[in-house]
Structure formats: C-alpha cells, structure tokens
Amino acid sequence: MKKSICYDSKSKTHDHAKKNRKQNSNSTKSCNVISKLFLLEDLRFHILSFVPLNCLINSAMYVCKHWAATIGSSHFVEACERRARSKPGLYVENRTTRDKSYFLEFKDDVNCQFERIDLGTPQKMGGVISTCDGILLLFSSIFKELFIVNPVLKCWLRIPFSPIFQHYDEFSLRSRCTITRVPRTAKFKLFLFDVIEVSSVSWYVFYVLRIGIDNSWKEIARKEVASNILLLQQIYSGGNDLYWATNKEVIVMDIDKESITREYSFPLLPLTFLMMGNRISCIVYKDGTHTTYQIYILDFHSGKWSLYHEMEPFNHVITSFGVFCLWINDQIIFRIALRSQENMSRSIKKIHYGYNVKTRMLTKIEDIDVGDFDVWLHTNTLASLPSTPT
C-alpha cells in the first residue's frame, strides 16, 4: 500500500515535472519567437535606414505591410533626418498638369546635373506657394483653399479658410503666406500677412496657424507702415527666422516665439531677395542697367549690407522677362520666358538656367523641361501629417 502511495506520488511528481518542463519549453519557444520578431524588426529598421530615399519611396514601402509600417513610423523618419540622407534639390512644378511634377537631386553641383524622382500632387489642390522640409503649401484659386501636402507619402491636409484668401490669387499669396518648422521639432506653422487701414493709417498684420495643434488663424503682431513701403516677398529656408522683405527693409520674425525681433533697412532698390544658405542676399541692378546684377549680403550682427558678387552681362539670356528663383549651393537658379514677337503677352516657353557664383559659369538646366514649370527649393521627407490620403 505504501509502495502504491509512494509510486503514485512519484508518478504525480514526475508528471508535474514533465508538464512544467513542457510549459517552460513552450514559454522558452514563445520568448524566442518574440525575441526573433523584435530582432527582425530592429534589423529591418537598421537595414532600411541605409536604403536610398528614392528606393524607399518607389519600392521598399510597397514590399509588405511590415516594411511600410517601419518606413512610415515616426522613429524611422527621425532616423532618416538625423542621417541627413536626403540632399536638398529642386521640386519642379508642372503648372499645366500638376500631377506631372518631379524632384531633382543634385549629382553635380558645377554642371547642374541631377537625379530625377517623379512625384505629383492632385491638380484640384492648386499651385505651390511655399515649401518647407519636404512639405508643400498649395493654394487653390478656384476654391480659395490652402492645402499642405507631402508629395512622397501622398498625404494632405486642408487648412481652415481665412477671409484674406478671397482677396488674393496664387501669385499674390506667395509673398504673403508660407509654411515653416520650429527647429528640432515636428511642429509646422503657417504664417500669413495682410495690410489693413485703420483711421487712414496702414498696418501690416501678421497671423499664425499651428498645424495639428489648434488649426485656426490667430493675429500675432501689427506694425505701422508708411505709404511708400511695399511688401515684396517672404524668405524662409529653415531655421527659426522668417524674413518679410519690403522695398525699404527686412522684418525678421521669430518662428517659435511668433514675434518680430529685428528690422534691417536696405538703402538700395531691391530686385529680389534670396536665401544663400543661412544668410539673406539681395539682387539689384547695377547703375540702373538691366543687364548687370549685383548681389549684396546682409551681416546680421552689424546690420549692414556688403557687395558679395557681380554678375556679368548675359547678352540675350536674361531679359526683362527673367525671374530669379532660388539659391542652392553655389548655384543661382533663374527662369526666362521667351515670348512671341507677334503676341508679347503670350509666353511661348520658359527655360531655366543655373549661374555658379564660384566659377561664373552659366548653364542651361536640361533636366528641367521647357514649358510652364516653376522650381522650388525642396528636400524629400517621410514626415507624416494629420492627413487624408489622396
């Protein structure tokens, strides 16, 4: 009897131990599977972070849901930005068919050679009026609406209406509205400018909209303005400073604090302002001519402008129909419109050139198609938006 009890006890103990070993084995296997899954995810993240951006956009994100989830995650976007894998380039906007726009990344700075990545935005969203860190700001003249678009991820966000929109077209808003980003954060902001008259006094009025936070326009500053001062354009290419340039001065606005911080007077009659890296430049005609141009650079510490470069006459290339577009690396990109002698109001074709301030070389940019195209300083990004898919 004792033997039987002893045997049964050992048998139960044995079975229990066997069961525990099986459970432990299953648990170990589960842990191993989970570990492998995490390891695979980490490996996938690490490997994909070395893949060129154009491959991520055009191929990798369509392989499977796991890859798409990794590429679309905020951590992956941050890792991409830290590694600065995507170089600045040109977003070429086809103004006739918006969906045929594309991105050009510099491969040869001296000879203006690029690598092309086809992008595009829905035509109903209108034309580009500003860009910032790969995000486009578009305005629909028909519906009087603003849209924010990431052309890489094909996501977009409609901006709440402002009564100011109804008074301006797409080209007017280019100098009055822009998208910015608070440095080292994921916070994007829109800034808007208008002129109002109160008791026969003109005022510059500035507004801000914090994207994804309150999504409503708020007045942040006013500045009295003389009747002979005209706003020419806004200039922004990153950082925490937004510049509003007039024919008499440059107004500096702090993006994070949303306030006017400095003002710089300008003694000459400006033709256009461009950002040269983190410095602001101004192009003027030399001695009133329309063939030779001088470039002045602003010293932020002294507040003084100094002559930086003089562009020699380009014969017939730059005419009164020429438009300076942007400054990237050592290249100044500009566009000319060749017009018919029979009908001067009709543009036949637009051609883009690059002028290298170091080598003084003038190069026709063959990668930009001839036609109704505009170019913008742009950097592709995987940053997502609180958006609706297109």
Quick one: average pLDDT of 4-24?
Answer: 46
More confident residue, 212 or 227: 212
Per-residue pLDDT at 144 exceeds 60: yes
Quick one: average pLDDT of 202-225?
Answer: 92
Report the interhelical angle of 65-72 vs 2-48 (nearest 10°): 60
Going by pLDDT thresholds of 50, 70 and 90, the confidence category of residue 96 is confident
Quick one: average pLDDT of 255-268?
Answer: 93
Going by pLDDT thresholds of 50, 70 and 90, the confidence category of residue 63 is confident
Q: With contact defined as beta carbons under 8 Å apart, do 307 and 286 qualify? A: no
pLDDT of res. 199: 87
204 closest CA partner among 171, 172, 258, 244: 244
Quick one: average pLDDT of 252-257?
Answer: 96
Confidence (pTM): 0.79
Average pLDDT score, the chain: 80
Going by pLDDT thresholds of 50, 70 and 90, the confidence category of residue 259 is very high
Per-residue pLDDT at 350 exceeds 70: yes
Per-residue pLDDT at 2 exceeds 80: no
> Other CB atoms closer than 10 Å to residue 305's CB: what's the count?
20
> Other CB atoms closer than 10 Å to residue 272's CB: what's the count?
17
Per-residue pLDDT at 344 exceeds 70: no
Geometric angle at alpha carbon 43, from 55 and 88, rounded to 5°: 35
Quick one: average pLDDT of 144-152?
Answer: 89
More confident residue, 288 or 132: 132
Quick one: average pLDDT of 124-141?
Answer: 90
Question: Where do we find the tokens 């969906």?
Answer: 99
Per-residue pLDDT at 97 exceeds 70: yes
pLDDT of res. 115: 84
Going by pLDDT thresholds of 50, 70 and 90, the confidence category of residue 204 is very high
DSSP strand pairing (231-235 vs 241-246):
antiparallel
pLDDT of res. 35: 45
78 closest CA partner among 377, 324, 384: 384
Task: Dump pLDDT digits (tens) for 294-303.
Answer: 999 999 999 9
pLDDT of res. 390: 43
**7-11, 25-29, 248-252, 301-305, range with the lowest pLDDT:** 7-11
316 token code pair: 């017939």
Task: Dump pLDDT digits (tens) for 312-341.
Answer: 766 555 554 578 999 988 899 989 887 655
Q: With contact defined as beta carbons under 8 Å apart, do 155 and 385 qualify? A: yes
Per-residue pLDDT at 123 exceeds 70: no
Quick one: average pLDDT of 81-95?
Answer: 75
